[in-house]
């Protein structure tokens, strides 16, 4: 019982969200929300109002709750919010019918078609190509003694990898790199530049689907690319429309590149600012072990993962999450970065521990929308980190960590640049 006069008691004030200062280190604000307002309604920078879910148990429930639809048609949006949810440009480019925007049964059908490309066996077959790409990119800057690991390494690696998987010809992949670069550079700012890139990407994908359909062999060949597989499924009665095929290729590219850029970039930054953990990993790699690398990538996903907020969900009916009533039509954003540092679920959640075993993080989501490309992302993350730390063992930051800037945006969390120095190698 407090003896403080009632008039002098004050309600704690929520921290300011989505500022540049917040982007640098959002975790103290998320800790406040978990404690004081675990399901918190806020106005986003776009003007849209949404609920933020920050506790692990509530987040896991919300991610699997089928009353929270992925279809933006369920958004009870006011006029000023129209078109401000989802991926910039996808609405105008007619690329809405992809896995992040649909519910069962369409989601079940499309996911089944695409899942064949991400089986453990298929990803294992792709491992030599990921290693080849990793070494080629490091070769380009190894003799310089310095590099920006975002633009020279973390960014191109997943672009070229996902293009190979989709079946984009090598001579066209630099175009994809340019379009994807526009998405990253402008993801937190005006949506016009992103929309133009998305429109160009859609036009190219439709043309590529036409070209592949005309030259598709009668029977599948081993290691057939994903777009050819989608065409084959469509031509054999799976009812995949041309727009669905283009939207599917688009979302695999979009979801498959920036997440890996941030996994590699955030992971390297965390390792360089935690020298004891980095030394443990390098010693383990030098001994030919892989166990710490595998648990380490999962811990880096939990500690400062590439996806800060899960993609949009919309209440199809009134429901309650974490004791908070949510009205039908309201947008709900699950804050993965907050849930994965919830002390009610993780011991010492603000400590980076590469050997953490009890690590059921939500970095890849949960439920039917669990990340389809998780096996490929793990492969790329493990290959990138292990190869860099082995080939450039004295890798170090070339700037004060406080001076690095994080990209503004709602869903993703990643550095703009990551300047490093190291002993040049031939």
Question: Phi, psi at residue 53, to the nearest 5°?
Answer: -105, 120
pLDDT in tens, 281-325: 999 999 999 999 999 999 999 999 999 999 899 999 999 999 999
Per-residue confidence (pLDDT) for residue 9, from 0 to 100? 41
pLDDT less than 50: residues of the chain: 1-10, 79-80, 89, 93-94, 186-191
pLDDT in tens, 13-60: 889 999 989 999 999 999 999 999 999 999 998 889 999 999 999 999
* pTM of full prediction above 0.85: yes
Per-residue confidence (pLDDT) for residue 152, from 0 to 100? 96
From CA 223, how far away is CA 129, in angstroms rounded?
12
From CA 303, how far away is CA 23, in angstroms rounded?
15
CB crowding 381-414: b at 16 or more within 10 Å, else e: bbbbbbbbbeebeebebbeeeeebebbbbbbbbb
pLDDT in tens, 213-240: 888 888 878 778 888 887 877 655 566 6
Token pair 């001076």 in the structure block, residue: 403
Determine whether 6 is exposed, middle or buried from the number of CB atoms within 10 Å of its CB (0-12, 13-18, 19+).
Answer: exposed
| Contact (CB, 8 A) for 361 and 340 | yes
Per-residue confidence (pLDDT) for residue 80, from 0 to 100? 47
The 3-state DSSP class for residue 202 equals helix
């Amino acid at each position: 019982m407090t003896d403080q006069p009632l008039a002098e008691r004050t309600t704690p004030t929520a921290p300011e969200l989505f500022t540049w200062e917040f982007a640098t280190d959002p975790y103290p604000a998320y800790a406040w929300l978990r404690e004081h307002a675990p399901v918190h309604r806020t106005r986003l920078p776009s003007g849209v109002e949404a609920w933020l879910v920050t506790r692990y148990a509530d987040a896991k429930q919300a991610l699997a709750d089928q009353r929270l639809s992925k279809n933006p048609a369920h958004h009870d949006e006011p006029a000023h919010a129209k078109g401000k949810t989802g991926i910039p440009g996808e609405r105008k480019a007619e690329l809405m019918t992809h896995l992040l925007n649909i519910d069962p049964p369409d989601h079940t059908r499309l996911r089944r078609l695409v899942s064949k490309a991400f089986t453990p066996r298929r990803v294992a077959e792709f491992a030599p190509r990921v290693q080849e790409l990793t070494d080629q990119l490091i070769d380009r800057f190894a003799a310089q003694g310095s590099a920006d690991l975002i633009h020279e390494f973390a960014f191109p690696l997943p672009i070229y990898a996902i293009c190979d998987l989709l079946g984009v010809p090598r001579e066209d992949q630099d175009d994809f790199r340019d379009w994807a670069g526009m998405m990253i550079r402008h993801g937190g700012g005006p949506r016009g530049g992103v929309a133009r890139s998305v429109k160009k990407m859609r036009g190219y994908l439709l043309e590529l689907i036409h070209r592949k359909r005309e030259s598709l062999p009668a029977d599948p060949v081993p290691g057939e690319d994903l777009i050819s597989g989608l065409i084959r499924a469509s031509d054999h009665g799976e009812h995949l429309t041309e727009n669905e095929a283009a939207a599917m290729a688009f979302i695999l590219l979009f979801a498959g590149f920036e997440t890996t850029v941030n996994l590699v970039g955030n992971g390297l930054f965390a390792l360089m600012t935690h020298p004891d953990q980095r030394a443990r990993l390098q010693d383990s790699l030098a001994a030919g072990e892989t166990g710490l690398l595998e648990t380490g990538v999962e811990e880096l996903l939990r500690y400062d993962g590439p996806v800060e907020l899960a993609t949009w969900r919309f209440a199809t009916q009134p429901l309650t999450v974490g004791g908070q009533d949510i009205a039908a039509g309201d947008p709900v954003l699950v804050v993965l970065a907050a849930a994965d540092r919830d002390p009610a679920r993780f011991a010492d959640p603000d400590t980076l521990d590469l050997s953490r075993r009890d690590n059921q993080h939500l970095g890849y989501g949960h439920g039917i929308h669990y990340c389809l490309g998780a096996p490929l992302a793990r492969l790329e993350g493990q290959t990138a980190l292990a190869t860099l730390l082995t080939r450039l063992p004295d890798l170090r930051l070339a700037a004060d960590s406080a001076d690095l800037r994080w990209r503004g945006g709602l869903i993703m969390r990643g550095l703009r640049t990551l300047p490093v120095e190291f002993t040049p190698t031939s």
